[in-house]
Structure formats: structure tokens, C-alpha cells
Amino acid sequence: MGEGAVFRSVQQQAMEAIQAGNSPVVAVMPTGAGKSILFMLLAWVKPGGTTVVVVPLITLRGDMKRRCDEFGIECIEWERTQQPDGAAIILVTPESAVRGPFRTFLNRMRMMRRLDRIIIDECHIILNDGLDFRKYMQQLGQLMTAETQMVLLTATLPPTKEAELRRRMGWGEGKVDVFRAPTVRKNVRYRVMDAGRYSKPREKEMIIELVKSTLRESDEGKVVIYYNTVPKVKVLASAGLFYYEAFHSKVKSGRKKEILEDFRSGLVRTVVATSALGMGVDIPDIRMIIHADEPRSLLDYAQESGRAGRDGLVSEAVIINWQGGGAEREGEDEAGGSRGEGEEELVRRIMDDGRECRRVVMSEYLDGRFGRQGCEDGEEKCDICTGREERRRVEEEEEGMPQ
């Protein structure tokens, strides 16, 4: 997969556990850190077996298929009418994975000693009670009956949620190998803009100006604007001085693929989306993520803001705080459901314009890391830490002035 390639993050430790046959294995790595290499590399260097990958989203399946094709790995999307016996990687939806025809196929592969492992990508969705395919994701523990290695991958699994994941997968008290890397992105600037009490026309104008300034600074960069509801996405996508695309659950799957390809190629540089675009979009040069509505949860925010800067270049994640003036709801949230216990407080903390670093909030919840005081060396400073440094500089200059 390229000469001179080296492991990143916890890739090596997780890969060694997978090669050793440990099961179950859970790998928690930041977006863009190469989670899929953990199964693609084994399929590439040890052909002959089959890896099943449960993929919850169309966008994810398309990206995985494209990457496997680039590396010469035979990868097939599951179809009930076409048995993919010779494929190294089989991509399957959660809905199909727990149904009879696919379970029969798994049993046959196991009897033939061809089934190497089952991967569940974006496994944190198993914990989300508000998504339409929740009932299928929560049945994925049934795949343990295939008696093969289980590997779960995600960029967002708070340590406090590990026990619930174990329960929903039916793992009991047995050993689970969990490999964690810090998931808060170092190259992303986190910022909250206080928009005050503006009217809806002013809301659109403000967002458009923010997008225009970002695209002027980056010749090839891209922007994603998130709203919680479909009507808001449609309104903004039809406004503005240049071309926007709307991406939400009601867009047909074929059209979604077209939008993502246009976005990837740069034909379209701005997409207005709901949480339907929250995961698995492997487009490296997204320079800014704008949350025009308050994020529904810190998990959602981590996934969606994690779309920014996957190429490692400096990027920005902005939440617009309308203070109730421009963010009235129109229609149901696409994610559905209600916030879990404590989630509203976490969102309030990350949006608070007090003195708490944005990264501190995210690191505590997402990585279980306590004690940090703010953004650290090697990390792009959030607006709170930038403001703190600026105030300190002004105070030092004032102290040095002659009396």
C-alpha cells in the first residue's frame, strides 16, 4: 500500500491484536486517521479469505469501494441475488447483515473456512436511539453467532459509553481489546460566533459572507454547512450568490452519490446538509464546517466537525450562536429522538463564551482526558484560548509602558 508507509495513531497496536486473532477488538481513532487500513491491509497482504464490513451509510460504502479499487482489493457490495463468494471484502448494510439470506451466506463461508472477520464501522451508531436503522444496528450482536473475529471501528466512543456498547453487543464480561487515540483534531480551529438576534434574511446573509471569505482564502477548499432540519437546508441551498447543493435523507441515493462526486472534484464547493452527511465522507480538503444550528449532541458535533481538514491542513469548525434569534425550528430534526442524559449540558458547555477551552470540553467527554488547561502546543488554538493569549499580550504591553 505504498513504500515507506508507517503506522499512525494506534494502528500498529490494533493491527497486531487483529493479526493475533483477538476478539472482540474496538479501535477508537480520530476521523481521517486510517481506521479502514486495519482491515484493508490484511485483505491486501493475505488474499484468500473474506472480510465482511457492516457499513451503515451509502456515503461510507461508496468511499470504501473506491479505495479498495484503488488498492486492487476485490470489494463487492452485498446483493441477495448475487453471492460474492470470491471477494476479499464484502460491504453490507446493517439491515441486510441481520437478515436470513446474509446469515445463511455467513454460515456457508464459515463452513468453507473463508470467513476471516466481521468489521462494524461507525459502531457508535449502535448507541444512538434516534436513528431510523437503530433497530438493525442494535441487532448486530447476533453476528457473534458466526463465531469469527469481531472488530468495531469508530471515531467517537466516549469511555463512559463502553459498557453500554458491550451490553448492546452481548459481550458479557469477557475480555475486550480497546485501543484508543485522542480523537479531538489538532489541525482544526474550534470557534463559536455570537450572531445576536438577527432576522432570517440576515441569517442567510451572514452565513453566505462567511462561506465566501473562506473560499477566497482557499483556491480549492470546500465548506459544509449543517442544519438540523430539511426545510432549512433547502432554503439556504436555494439562496446565495453561488452554487450550493442540498444533502439530506430525502435526497435519492443516486443523487447523493452525484453530489458527493461533484463535491469531491470541486465542481461544487459548498454543501448544505443535515446529519445525513455526518459520517464517512472522505473528502480531504474541507476547510470549514459551519453549524448554523446548535449541534444536537457532542457526539454528532465531533463527527461532523471531523469532516474538516482530513488532509492535515489548518481548517476551522464554527458554531453560530443565534441566541434564539435566527434558529427557530422548521420541521423535525433528521437525527430524531431526544438528547440523552447530560448531552444538553455538554453542548451548552462547548458553546459557552466563558473561559473554558473548547478542546477541554471535547477531550474530557470523548477521550476521558481530564486536567488539561487549554489548547496545547501543536494544536490550532480555539477562540477561547486565542482570546486569552491576546488579553495576556495586551496586559504585558500595558505593564511595560512608561508611567
- Domain residue extents for the chain: 11-180, 188-388
Under a CB-based contact definition with an 8 Å cutoff, are residues 350 and 166 in contact? no
C-alpha 199: how far from its chain's center?
31
Pick the CATH number of 11-180 from 3.40.50.300, 3.20.20.70, 1.10.3720.10, 3.40.30.10: 3.40.50.300
Q: Are strands 89-92 and 75-77 parallel, antiparallel or unpaired?
A: parallel
Task: List, as own/partner pairs, every contact residues 343-347 make where C-beta atoms lie below 8 angstroms and the sequence separation is at least 24, other chains included.
Answer: 343/296, 343/297, 343/298, 343/299, 346/297, 346/298, 347/294, 347/295, 347/296, 347/297, 347/298, 347/301
pLDDT at 10: 87
φ, ψ for residue 278, nearest 5 deg = -80, -15
Alpha helices in 266-351 (DSSP H): 298-305, 343-351
pLDDT at 138: 76
pLDDT at 199: 58
pLDDT at 159: 94
Q: Which CATH class is domain 188-388?
A: alpha beta
Q: What angle do CA 31, 32, 38 make, to 5 degrees?
A: 95
Q: Measure the CA–CA gap between 151 and 350, rounded to whole angstroms.
A: 31
Q: Measure the CA–CA gap between 88 and 121, rounded to whole angstroms.
A: 17
Q: What's the pTM?
A: 0.84
For 75-93, letters b (16+ CB in 10 Å) and e give bbbbeeeeebeebbbbbbb
Q: Which residues of the chain have pLDDT under 70?
A: 1-6, 59, 83, 85, 129-134, 196-201, 240-242, 279-280, 323-341, 400-403
Residues 6+ positions from 153 with CB-CB distance below 8 Å: 26, 27, 29, 35, 36, 38, 119, 120, 121, 122, 123
Residue corresponding to grid cell 454543501:
271
Kindly report, residue by residue over 365-399, the tens digit of the pLDDT.
999 999 888 999 999 999 999 999 998 888 887 77
- Same fold for the pair 11-180 and 188-388: yes
pLDDT at 327: 44
Write the DSSP assignment of 104-155 as a string of letters: HHHHHHHHTT-EEEEEETTGGGGG-TTSTTHHHHTTGGGGGGG-SEEEEEES
Angle between helices 58-70 and 253-265 (to 10 degrees): 50
**How big, in percent rounded to 5, are the helix, strand and coil portions of the chain?**
40, 15, 45
Residues 6+ positions from 292 with CB-CB distance below 8 Å: 203, 207, 225, 226, 227, 232, 236, 320, 327
pLDDT at 286: 94
